[in-house]
Amino acid sequence: MVVVVGFVVPCAGKTSRQRSSLATIRLKSDSQLRDSFILGLFPALTLAHTRALIYFETLKNSTPIEFVVSENDAKLRLDQFLAKRLPQYSRSRLQQLIRGGFVRLNEQTIRPRHIVRGGDKIDLIEPPPEKIEPRPEPIPLDVLFEDDDLIVINKPPGLTVHPGAGQREHTLVNALLSHCTALSGIGGKERPGIVHRLDKETSGCLVVAKNDLAHREL
């Protein structure tokens, strides 16, 4: 359990001894950070400690993906090893997770270019997805039909239906929020009114619900 009381503040003009005296506890490892109650101000909180805080906070609601490095995979970079074992992740995404403190090697945070060795234990946790609240955008729509309950759109190719990790704006949902005064909330804030979808490069008709009753009926 980690409890932090206080704020990280700059200490311009103070000596290292003065900066150290502002902390009640000096921590030397991530394991100490995990099991300690931290009181006071930490102007000199290290990047490793910050990453450990992020890791253990996220771990509360996540199950880590665990690997043990074989001798055949020894001498690979950490990001290369993970890319080999987790092809569903892009190399850049894995590097982001490593730098963000969501990957630990032998219970320590490490850099993407670190060379792994046989027997190394690697844990990866995926941070929870960032909540997306799309905003209205005046994007033209090809409306085929509309009444109080639903709207039928002729979706052109190249238009993403709803926001996601790869695209947060310029989607059909953004256009619908601008065009419609109300949409069904069953799909959540990220997918208001969306009953079904088409791939980005696929054109065709989409039926969108304006209220929850219409959504359930569809």
Q: What is the pLDDT of residues 50-104, one digit of tens each?
A: 555 555 555 555 678 899 999 999 999 999 999 999 888 888 889 988 988 889 9
Quick one: residue 93, left, alpha or beta (phi over 0 = left, psi -120 to 50 = alpha)? alpha
Cα–Cα distances in angstroms (integers) from residue 113 to residues 21, 22, 55, 133, in the given order? 35, 34, 19, 35
Beta carbons of 34 and 58 less than 8 angstroms apart:
no
Catalytic residue among 30, 73, 199, 212: 199
Which residues on adjacent β-strands are paired with residue 115? Answer: 77
Verify whether residue 30 is a known catalytic residue: no
Q: pTM of whole model > 0.85?
A: no
Cα–Cα distances in angstroms (integers) from residue 153 to residues 50, 134, 158, 216, in the given order? 47, 19, 14, 19
Cα–Cα–Cα angle for 174, 97, 85, rounded to 5 degrees: 110
Structure confidence by residue, pLDDT tens digits, 14-55: 444 443 333 333 334 444 444 443 434 444 445 555 555 555
Task: Measure the CA–CA gap between 173 and 192, rounded to whole angstroms.
Answer: 7
Q: Which of 147, 144, 141, 137 is nearest to 168 (CA)?
A: 137
Structural domains in the chain, CATH included, are 3-45 (no CATH), 65-124 (3.10.290.10), 143-217 (3.30.2350.10)
